[in-house]
Homo-oligomer: A and B are copies of this chain.
Amino acid sequence: MSAHIFVVEDEKPIQTLLRYNLEKEGFKVSSSENGEEALSLIKEKKPDLILLDWMLPDLSGIKICQYLKHDKKVKDIPIIMLTAKGEEEDKVKGLESGAEDYLTKPFSFPELLARIKAMLRRVKPTAVNEEIIYLDLKVDRVAMKVYRQNKEVSLGPKEFKLLDFLITQPKRVYSREQLLEQVWGEDINVESRTVDVHITRLRQAINIDGSKPLIRTVRSAGYSLEN
């Protein structure tokens, strides 16, 4: 669980509480107490999810929502709105202004956590699960370990990320370009042939004696986990 959550909340106790609990869950947390600051920080840090308090000293939550949803770079980041009252009207406005979900204060943390996980599962499946298993292959994201047939196999950083990405959607074929973008990074300048080499290394690493190859090549398309 390695998602980055941004908390916009001016009430210190609640902010502290949220930060503490979210970090305990393994999330990376950034926060801000006012709208202006939040806006610039969000654009800079690009979190995976935003918890947004409805009532803020300067900009209202609704305004922040609107700004964010009109900014191409951040408009896809899901927003969970936190409101003080169960006022239907606020809820409507909140959802209209682009918030993906909505929670009434005070809320129980487990309830919030459930919503967060649900949201992240939808938007960034890789961020939620700690252990992903496919056939006889297991990826433990917390311990950063990989097992094949219950035996640990050691991977280099790139190999790990590559497998970690491939296993989120087994059988799905990813192009070299997609893999470069997801595993290497957006603006990195690397030849697509490089992917091939790492696939080879990954194949060798997760190959236990005569076990199935597990990485499928799709000619002129890319690679997928499965075989």
Q: Which of these binds chain B: A40-48, A205-213, A215-223?
A: A215-223
When the two chains form their complex, are residues B118 and A92 in contact, meaning their CB atoms are under 8 A apart? no
When the two chains form their complex, are residues B156 and A143 in contact, meaning their CB atoms are under 8 A apart? no
When the two chains form their complex, are residues A11 and B92 in contact, meaning their CB atoms are under 8 A apart? no
When the two chains form their complex, are residues B17 and A100 in contact, meaning their CB atoms are under 8 A apart? yes
Instruction: Name the CB-closest residue of B to A107.
Output: B91
Q: With A88-B86, A92-B105, A106-B94 as given contacts, are A156 and B118 in contact (CB-CB < 8 Å)? A: no
When the two chains form their complex, are residues A95 and B13 in contact, meaning their CB atoms are under 8 A apart? yes
Task: Choose from B94, B105, B169, B221 the contact partner of A157 (Cβ within 8 Å).
Answer: B221
Number of interface residues, chain A, beta carbon within 8 A: 47
Chain B hits for A14, CB < 8 A: 95
Within the assembled complex, what's the spacing in Å between the Cα atoms of A178 and B26? 10
When the two chains form their complex, are residues B171 and A142 in contact, meaning their CB atoms are under 8 A apart? yes
Instruction: Name the CB-closest residue of B to A158.
Output: B220
Q: With A88-B104, A101-B17 as given contacts, are A173 and B142 in contact (CB-CB < 8 Å)? A: yes
Instruction: Name the CB-closest residue of B to A115.
Output: B109
A133 in the interface (beta carbon within 8 A)? no
Closest Cβ–Cβ distance, residue A215 to chain B (whole Å):
13
Within the assembled complex, what's the spacing in Å between the Cα atoms of A221 and B141? 11
Closest Cβ–Cβ distance, residue A57 to chain B (whole Å):
15
A72 in the interface (beta carbon within 8 A)? no
Chain B hits for A106, CB < 8 A: 88, 91-92, 94-95, 102
